[in-house]
Chains A and B, each alone.
Chain A
Amino acid sequence: MKKSHIATLITFFLLIPATLFLGAKLPGRTYYITGTLIILELMIPFFMAFEGRKPQARELVIIAVLSAIAIAGRVLIPIPDFKAIFGVIMLAGIAFGPETGFMVGAIAAFGSNFVYGQGAYTPWQMFSYGAAGMLSGFAFGKGRLPRKAWLMGIFGFVTVVLVVGPILDSMSLFLGFVKPSPEAFGLVFIPGFAHNCPNALCTAAVMLILGKPFLSILNRIQVKYGMLT
């Protein structure tokens, strides 16, 4: 068995249950620490797998470039709250597969926080951004959804509203409330939804406008340099 597979098994069957158990045992309000630990533990297998397969130089540089573009996208479009970051991450996932998508998302979140400041949200952002890249990689993999611009746009919108946004919002639920009650749930997720919609629209716009050209750029590079994935 591969080392990363063992790590995955240990994480899911030992580490996470142990964290949940300890979190429930400890006195006081430990939701935030428990939640963050689980988020970190969920990422361990991905990072172990990445380190374990000793990525080639080309692959490393491509992931770095895509992450840097996702971060730079925040600066290039001079409209506040228009975040191209999810769009770029998801397109990277579509073009290079779920694993690369996850890495681009997690690294883009982590790296951009070195510019904008790390915080209690860093692990949650890494996980949710990575999840966006991974999901799109799965959904548009070979023989799955057709890579049509409108379909990618809808997929981008839905993923941001239903996956990325809620993961990020649940952090404020764990961090900011005495106890997660149904009302607190509503208070976090309903404004969260209102805030996520513009982001999701941006993502959809990025996918619609940039989707086709971006994929053909990546495709051309893959053909030109003989990287047939």
Chain B
Amino acid sequence: MKGNRQLHDAFSKRHPAVNFVFFLGVIVASALIQHPAYVLAGFVTGAIYYLMLNGAKGLKFLLLLLPVFVFVAAINPLFNTDGQRILCHVFGRPYTYEALLYGLALSGVIVVMLLWFGCYNQVLTGDKFTSLFGNLIPAISLLLVMVFRMVPNFIRKARQLAGARKSIGKGAGENATAKEKVTDGLTLLGALTTWALEGSVVTGDSMRARGYGTAKRSSFMIYRMTLSDWLLMAAMVLLLGLTLVAAYFGQTAAAFTPVMEIAPVSWGLCSYTLFLMIPILYHWKEAAQWYISRSKI
């Protein structure tokens, strides 16, 4: 759906499995870790990668995240009154320093997740998802592929139907009431359904005639795991594993209420940050390589 855009990012050109494992790791880790330093690392790397993917347009999204951050951070202390230092009383309930910090960390987690999901949507497009899961869930992947094709097709058909209705004086115009718009839209939807379902039966029969379901479905794989894919995968597993070890030793622990206890920053943060920077570093490496090989000519 968003695949026709030119992406100048080297990481998104790698095997979908590499992309998927990376984002799975990022999103699970950033949902679980609420240590402020780790959240900050997630935000900075996520923001850099998002800007690399979107260019200057990405700044708008980053600015939109600010109100989300402030809102969630400010609202949480209203419901969590634990904590030692009371800042003020809101509706007769204590609004504490610790709870505010906790709120900040938590809304940081949410913002980081939103940011990385934003990157995910750019990198793991529908075609990659279906090619990745085509063997594991063949019927559902096929369903998705068909849906991706049908949605734009149906919208085009619906425009034709609307045009035909308009030419015989039906349909909702510019200044129609909401009720007219709804009735008109639903009439269109009904007409579209008839057309689409008739077509679907024909498609289904055609698929059967061509032997769908007679043997195990094989799928054409456009992507192959190359050496650099395996290397990236190994780096990801290693760095994420190190972070996990660090988490096991309590390096990512951060408790805010009732008593604030934040683990000191140690090597775990390095491995986590390096893990998050994999797409950025990989892109820089490719760009440098390209620059060097071009300058040799």
Contact = CB atoms under 8 A, between A and B. Distances in A.
Interface in B104-154: 106-107, 110, 113-114, 117-118, 120-121, 125-126, 129, 137-140, 142-144, 146-148, 150-151, 153-154
Contact of B192 (A30, A69, A119, A187): A69
Given A51-B140, A115-B151, A184 B253 contact: no
A183 B72 CA distance: 15
Interface stretch (A10-18, A54-62, A135-143, A146-154): A54-62
Interface string A187-229: 1000000000000000001100110011001100100010100
Interface residues of B, number: 73
B193 A79 contact: no
A133 to B, nearest CB: 14
Interface string A151-187: 0000000000000000000000001111101011001
B145 to A, nearest CB: 9
Contacts of B253: 27-28
B25 interface: no
A9 interface: no
Nearest to A29: B34
Interface in A33-68: 33, 47, 50-51, 54-65, 67-68
Given A29-B106, A78-B185, A177 B31 contact: no
Nearest to A55: B139
A105 B192 CA distance: 19
Contact of A176 (B72, B189, B212): B72
Given A54-B213, A72-B158, A178 B103 contact: yes
A210 B198 contact: no
B1 interface: yes
A4 B282 CA distance: 41
Contact of A51 (B138, B150, B194, B254): B138
B181 interface: yes
Nearest to A67: B147
A60 B114 contact: no
A90 interface: no
A28 B197 contact: no
A47 B137 contact: yes
B126 to A, nearest CB: 4
A110 B151 CA distance: 13
Nearest to A213: B190
B151 A181 contact: no
B155 A75 contact: yes
Contacts of A67: 143, 147
A67 B76 CA distance: 38
Nearest to B161: A76
Nearest to A202: B182
B289 to A, nearest CB: 31
A181 B137 contact: no
A47 B137 CA distance: 8
A71 interface: yes
Nearest to A30: B32
B234 interface: no
B192 to A, nearest CB: 6
Interface in A109-155: 110-111, 114-115, 117-120
Contact of A183 (B79, B117, B142): B79
A65 B126 CA distance: 17
B144 A110 contact: yes
27 contacts: A29-B34, A29-B106, A51-B137, A57-B208, A58-B201, A58-B204, A60-B139, A60-B204, A61-B207, A65-B150, A65-B200, A67-B147, A68-B150, A69-B189, A69-B192, A71-B151, A72-B150, A72-B151, A76-B155, A76-B158, A79-B178, A82-B182, A111-B144, A114-B148, A177-B76, A178-B76, A205-B186
Interface of B: 1-2, 27-28, 31-34, 72, 75-76, 78-80, 99, 102-103, 106-107, 110, 113-114, 117-118, 120-121, 125-126, 129, 137-140, 142-144, 146-148, 150-151, 153-155, 158, 178, 181-183, 185-186, 188-190, 192-194, 196-201, 203-205, 207-208, 212-213, 253-254, 257
Given A50-B139, A60-B143, 4 more contacts: A114-B125, A178-B106, A214-B190, A217-B194
Which 8 pairs across A and B sit closest by C-beta, in order of nearness? A77-B185, A58-B204, A68-B150, A64-B146, A57-B207, A61-B200, A61-B204, A65-B200
